[in-house]
Amino acid sequence: MDLKNAIEKIEESNDFEEKLKNKQVCSAISFTDENNEPVKWEINYFNEDSGKITRVVVDNEIEIFKEDKLFKKESVSSIDISTVHVTAKEALKIASDENDTNYKQPVQKMFIALHSEKSPVWSVNIITKILTVIQMKIAVDTGKILEAKTHNMFQGKGVAK
């Protein structure tokens, strides 16, 4: 399921007006299936007035969790979904192609997150069969790989490429 479709499904639900009114998307994450397709989305909505997050899980059904405090006291940036021109599926393909070209690691699992640093980015994490994590940040507007690094799950530091 594409992220924009998941958000549309939430916005069309009966609970949207009551539970998510005046809240903005601030992040989203999805694990992939065996075909590297996003399956269900966990989307976080931020309420600037209360400073709290509401977590929503979307697959066949929509599950809205109660509002919760932030773990860290830091600013949260809303994401204007209309600025996300590269889909999750396209970002996963870009990351997969980068792995095939430069890392050549057999993929065990992939997950993707949309979050905002200075601007929205896709973060794709590829967990390989030898337990190396390849992390890539991909621009949501161009699909350009902004950063790529590897991290051995048994060691502490990532290596920038």
pLDDT tens track for 102-141: 999 999 999 999 999 889 999 999 999 999 999 999 999 9
Calpha distance 108→12 (Å, rounded): 35
Tell me 81's DSSP state.
Answer: G
Strand partners, 91: none
Give buried/exposed letters for 72-105 (b at 16+ CB in 10 A, else e): eeeebbebebeebebbbbebbebbbebbeeebeb
Tell me 39's DSSP state.
Answer: -
pLDDT tens track for 40-90: 999 999 998 888 999 999 999 999 999 998 766 567 889 999 999 999 999
pTM: 0.90
Mean pLDDT of the chain: 92
Cβ contacts of residue 139 below 8 Å, gap of 6+? 86, 121, 122, 146
Where are the alpha helices (H) located in the chain, listed in sequence order? 3-11, 16-20, 88-98
